[in-house]
Copies of this chain bind each other. A is one copy, B any other.
Amino acid sequence: MRVLSNEDIDQLLTMPECIAVLEEMYLDYANGQALLVPRIDNLSPSTEADAYYAFKQMGGAWPRRKVQALRINSDIITHPVIAGKPRRVKQPRAGGRWVGLVFMFSSETGALIGIFPDGAMQRLRVGAANGIALRQMARPDARTLALIGSGWQAGGQLMAALASRPIDRVRVYSPRAESRQAFVAQAQQLHPGVGIVACASAEECVDGADVIMAATSSMVRVLQPTWLRPGVHISCIKSQEVDQELLDACDRVIVHVSAQPKQYDNIMPGTPNVTAEHNSGWWNKPGNRFADYADLPQVLAGKAQGRSSPNEITCFVNNVGIGLQFAAAGALVLDKARSRGLGHELPDDWFSETVHP
């Protein structure tokens, strides 16, 4: 049993590798050769008066690589009032740290084979999904990328775009000048061959771009219908960044995975501050067309169409993550960690037993 860190995973998993293994998994999933474990969000009171405890679980089995993954998030959620508005904040109550973990099992032996934090892989798999969508939906000659957002996830989106299309010009916009400038400085170091500039407005950022990627934590739409030009491809990392009006203005919309949104909120009565934030998204409201959209695995399997003409306006909505992404990337990472001897190895006997109840 191997325990890996986010640093190990950053070292072991490149964006092109993550894209390749996720493509293989999505194809299997589309063909009924992988099992999605439905996501359950278990919400109960925490010890602080207005806080709640969120235990999120998702997973998946991928027989080709003989793995079952279980990913959990164990978060204390508070609602401090910031700039006059209540904000949803995950508090780092575990000694100043957060708790998200992936448990990997062998479906050949049953053994627990690995545990690692979910953060590094989370960013790579979100980026990889959008990169795979880019390969299916953006014009092959796309060269200019507009990136809305300059946080941690934006870095993953940039890596995925550069791995998927001949992008050589990148413009970055986010509301705070210091943030976007710091992001650009770091991104330029990581990707020296690419021209990366910060923009003072979203309009300047997206003007003439071949691809527009949103990577924000916004709870309201950040991509605007007025930005859409023939041939553009747009994408987001959460459903809140788009809305039905925007999607209706696109020629083709593909979502990440259609099945997963049927998630289950398992809420203890009396849990504070929960009702307001759950199931309140526009995609849960009447009039949404989510059910009409094909998903990325279907496109990869040839069961749905990606871009069909140079002038089409295409949109990829990375609406929700799936545990199978961790199964796929986790299988790859554990193989590489084993061969390089990375991580902490613990006795297998600690995690198995001589009885079977």
Q: Does A244 count as interface, using CB distance less than 8 angstroms?
A: no
User: Given A99-B105, A268-B61, are A110 and B123 neighbors across the interface (CB < 8 Å)?
Assistant: no
**Contact B353–A97 (Cβ < 8 Å):** yes
Q: Does A305 count as interface, using CB distance less than 8 angstroms?
A: no
Q: Annotate A5-45 by CB proximity to B: 1 below 8 A, 0 otherwise.
A: 11000000000000000000000000011111110101111
User: Per a CB cutoff under 8 Å, which of B37, B75, B118, B356 touches A75?
Assistant: B356
> Within the complex, what minimum Cβ distance (angstroms) separates A302 from chain B?
19
Stretch at the interface among A51-59, A129-137, A202-210: A51-59
**Which residues of B sit under 8 angstroms from A93, Cβ to Cβ?**
108-111
User: Given A100-B357, A110-B74, A353-B99, are A35 and B268 neighbors across the interface (CB < 8 Å)?
Assistant: yes
Please measure, in the bound complex, the distance between the C-alpha atom of A36 and the C-alpha atom of B47, giving whole angstroms: 18
**Contact B355–A53 (Cβ < 8 Å):** no
Chain B residue nearest in CB terms to A153: B357
User: Per a CB cutoff under 8 Å, which of B53, B66, B92, B115 touches A351?
Assistant: B115
User: Per a CB cutoff under 8 Å, which of B44, B57, B106, B122 touches A63?
Assistant: B44
Q: Does A226 count as interface, using CB distance less than 8 angstroms?
A: no
> Within the complex, what minimum Cβ distance (angstroms) separates A274 from chain B?
12
Stretch at the interface among A177-185, A333-341, A342-350: A342-350
Please measure, in the bound complex, the distance between the C-alpha atom of A30 and the C-alpha atom of B35, giving whole angstroms: 34
**Which residues of B sit under 8 angstroms from A110, Cβ to Cβ?**
53, 74-76, 93-94, 98-99
> Within the complex, what minimum Cβ distance (angstroms) separates A23 from chain B?
20
> Within the complex, what minimum Cβ distance (angstroms) separates A75 from chain B?
6
**Which residues of B sit under 8 angstroms from A352, Cβ to Cβ?**
94-95, 97-99, 117
Residue among A36, A74, A268, A348 with max Cβ neighbours from chain B (10 Å): A74
Please measure, in the bound complex, the distance between the C-alpha atom of A44 and the C-alpha atom of B6, giving whole angstroms: 29
**Contact B35–A61 (Cβ < 8 Å):** no
Q: Annotate A74-109 by CB proximity to B: 1 below 8 A, 0 otherwise.
A: 111000000000000010111101111101011111
**Contact B152–A109 (Cβ < 8 Å):** no
> Within the complex, what minimum Cβ distance (angstroms) separates A189 from chain B?
20
Q: Does A269 count as interface, using CB distance less than 8 angstroms?
A: yes
**Contact A119–B355 (Cβ < 8 Å):** yes
**Contact B111–A74 (Cβ < 8 Å):** yes
**Which residues of B sit under 8 angstroms from A152, Cβ to Cβ?**
355
User: Per a CB cutoff under 8 Å, which of B33, B38, B123, B350 touches A357?
Assistant: B123
**Contact B32–A74 (Cβ < 8 Å):** no
**Contact B105–A55 (Cβ < 8 Å):** yes
**Which residues of B sit under 8 angstroms from A268, Cβ to Cβ?**
32-35, 61, 63
**Which residues of B sit under 8 angstroms from A356, Cβ to Cβ?**
75, 90, 92, 98, 100, 119
Query: Which residues in A have some Cβ–Cβ distance to B below 8 Å?
Result: 3, 5-6, 32-38, 40, 42-47, 53, 55, 57, 59, 61, 63, 66, 68, 70, 72, 74-76, 90, 92-95, 97-101, 103, 105-112, 115, 117-120, 122-123, 126, 152, 264, 266-270, 344, 346, 348-357
A38-B264, A42-B68, A55-B105 provided; 17 other pairs, C-beta below 8 A?
A37-B40, A40-B40, A45-B63, A47-B107, A53-B108, A74-B105, A94-B106, A97-B353, A98-B110, A98-B353, A98-B355, A99-B111, A99-B351, A115-B351, A118-B353, A119-B353, A126-B357
- Counting from the closest, the 4 A-B pairs by CB-CB distance are A122-B357, A97-B352, A119-B355, A117-B353
